[in-house]
């Protein structure tokens, strides 16, 4: 069997190195989160890089079912912090829990002109691909 994508390594060692030493811009795309069914139908986009002020719903883990606004995107640790999703330290201090973006679903997007253009670009590509498949 041949390699599908020649620009990526199939070696576990090299893949892990590439992942954990990825620059911030690459981490942004890795930290994409799926959109809810309503947003997916509206924008014709499956997933988008997560951003501060997006509203999300947790779909996996011990905090499953909780919803809130993204307070920070911690690219270095590949996690996001969500308001009201925290744990108590032994001294009583509250600490936000890090959650991986793939384990949440975006329910409300913070849309500005840059994000709008990203959504349009992805949607256009999906439509072109669908048109090509029909031929």
**Percent over 70 (pLDDT), the chain:** 99
What separation in angstroms does the CA of 48 have from each of 35, 109, 120? 7, 10, 12
In our burial notation (b when 16+ CB lie closer than 10 A, e otherwise), range 48-73 reads: bbbbeebbbbbbeeebeebbbebeeb
User: For the segment 79-109, what is each residue's pLDDT rounded down to a tens digit?
Assistant: 999 999 999 999 999 999 999 999 999 999 9
Q: How far apart are CA 61 and CA 105, in angstroms?
A: 13
User: For the segment 14-65, what is each residue's pLDDT rounded down to a tens digit?
Assistant: 999 999 999 999 999 999 999 999 999 999 999 999 999 999 999 999 999 9
Q: Residue 3's pLDDT band (boundaries 50, 70, 90)? A: confident
pLDDT at 1: 64
pLDDT at 2: 74
């Amino acid at each position: 069997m041949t390699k599908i994508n020649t620009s990526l390594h199939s070696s576990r060692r090299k893949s892990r190195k590439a992942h954990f030493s990825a620059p911030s811009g690459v981490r942004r795309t890795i930290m994409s989160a799926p959109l809810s069914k309503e947003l997916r139908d509206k924008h014709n986009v499956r997933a988008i890089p997560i951003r501060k002020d997006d509203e999300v719903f947790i779909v996996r883990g011990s905090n499953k079912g909780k919803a809130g606004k993204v307070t920070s995107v911690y690219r270095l640790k590949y996690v996001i912090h969500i308001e009201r999703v925290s744990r108590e330290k032994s001294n009583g201090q509250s600490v936000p829990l890090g959650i991986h973006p793939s384990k949440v679903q975006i329910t409300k997007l913070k849309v500005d002109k840059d994000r709008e253009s990203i959504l349009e670009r992805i949607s256009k590509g999906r439509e072109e691909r669908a048109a090509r498949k029909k031929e």
